[in-house]
């Protein structure tokens, strides 16, 4: 099957080349685990391949999102963005309006640095149906190869009436699948896995990339798993992950080093050869990570 690289080498190794093209996937994890960062790297990889990409933000204003990503030094000017964050007056009972009436799709690099004020816009009640119609309209004008929706959880909490969340989410996933565009959607999960419950996002997604975070005596630790990838084999191991100055790094190398032959008697006193730079990240995690996984 045709693969779509995510742009994160360790993750693409776990996915055996990348995601299957044209399907909707979720990136899930507790708050602060790096879901948005991973999704932006996915879009930047598309730009590097001369693809059209779209970011739909539902819980973070575009200007704040851009400011949060500035430390990475990325060129975000070619990412198209749709601001679907709710207006503070949108909680009132007002007629439903398509979000495209008020907020056009624009390039993230062109977003004004100041946060929008509610008085500058007519109140809107952004629903999943309205978002679908906006995406249909945008796709008539521009063909995208990659889309990110950050986040689906915000749609569940703010944009649908109580009691209809799962039905609306299922409809949204079917709509995205019919577009045949590779789509990543972020999903917030509880901090403690024992509290997690099954939901529509989990079984409607064609795959799920799960980000983990926990504390131990050495501080904050991060990991990544591929929980599901339909129609494809994949690495099911919990792999170490870091958020660096250049984005997310996944250490997906095989940690089982081959056994070195015993030195000859005349070489027994010679120092062991230094590890290569490529091995350094793996060896940094190797002595402690396996024991931490057993504890976790």
Closest CA to 18 of 29, 5, 30: 5
pTM of the model: 0.78
In which residue ranges of the chain is pLDDT below 50? 88-98, 100-102, 117-123, 255-288, 296
CATH number of this structure's domain 3-211, picked from the four choices 3.40.50.300, 1.10.3720.10, 3.40.50.10900, 3.30.70.1450: 3.40.50.300
- Asked whether the CA dihedral 40, 44, 49, 50 is positive or negative, the reply is positive
pLDDT of residue 162: 62
- Asked whether the CA dihedral 133, 134, 140, 143 is positive or negative, the reply is negative
CB distance 159 to 58 below 8 Å? yes
CB distance 200 to 194 below 8 Å? no
pLDDT of residue 131: 86
CB distance 107 to 77 below 8 Å? yes
pLDDT of residue 249: 96
- In the chain, the DSSP E strands lie at 3-4, 19-20, 24-29, 53-57, 80-83, 106-107, 146-150, 182-188, 207-216, 219-229, 239-244, 247-250
Enumerate residues 6+ apart whose C-beta is below 8 A from 74. 40, 44, 247
For the chain, give the number of residues: 296
Cα–Cα distance, 193 to 170 (Å, whole number)? 23
pLDDT of residue 254: 52
Cα–Cα distance, 57 to 54 (Å, whole number)? 10
CB distance 183 to 143 below 8 Å? no
Cα–Cα distance, 205 to 208 (Å, whole number)? 7
Which residues, in sequence order, are bridge partners of residue 3?
20
pLDDT of residue 111: 81
């Amino acid at each position: 099957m045709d693969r779509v690289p995510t742009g994160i080498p360790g993750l693409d190794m776990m996915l055996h080349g990348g995601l299957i093209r044209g399907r909707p996937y979720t990136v899930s994890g507790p708050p602060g685990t790096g879901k948005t960062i991973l999704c932006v790297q996915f879009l930047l990889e598309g730009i590097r391949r001369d693809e059209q990409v779209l970011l739909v933000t539902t819980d973070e204003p575009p200007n704040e999102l851009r400011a949060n990503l500035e430390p990475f030094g990325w060129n975000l000017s070619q990412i198209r963005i749709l601001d679907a964050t709710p207006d503070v007056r949108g909680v009132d009972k007002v007629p439903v309006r398509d979000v495209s009436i008020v907020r056009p799709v624009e390039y993230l690099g062109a977003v004004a640095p100041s946060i929008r004020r509610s008085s500058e816009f007519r109140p809107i009640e952004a629903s999943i149906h309205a978002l679908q119609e906006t995406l249909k309209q945008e796709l008539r004008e521009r063909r995208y190869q990659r889309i990110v929706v950050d986040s689906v959880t915000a749609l569940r909490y703010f944009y649908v009436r109580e009691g209809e969340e799962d039905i609306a989410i299922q409809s949204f996933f079917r709509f995205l699948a019919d577009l045949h565009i590779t789509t990543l959607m972020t999903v917030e999960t509880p901090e403690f896995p024992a509290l997690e419950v099954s939901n529509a996002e989990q079984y409607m997604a064609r795959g799920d990339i799960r980000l983990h975070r926990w504390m131990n005596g050495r501080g904050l630790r991060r990991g990544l798993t591929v929980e599901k990838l339909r129609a494809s084999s994949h690495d099911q191991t919990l792999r170490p992950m870091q958020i660096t100055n250049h984005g997310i790094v996944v250490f997906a190398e095989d940690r089982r080093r081959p056994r070195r032959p015993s030195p000859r008697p005349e070489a027994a006193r010679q120092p062991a050869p230094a590890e290569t730079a490529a091995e350094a990240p793996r060896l940094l995690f190797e002595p402690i990570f396996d024991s931490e996984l057993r504890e976790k």
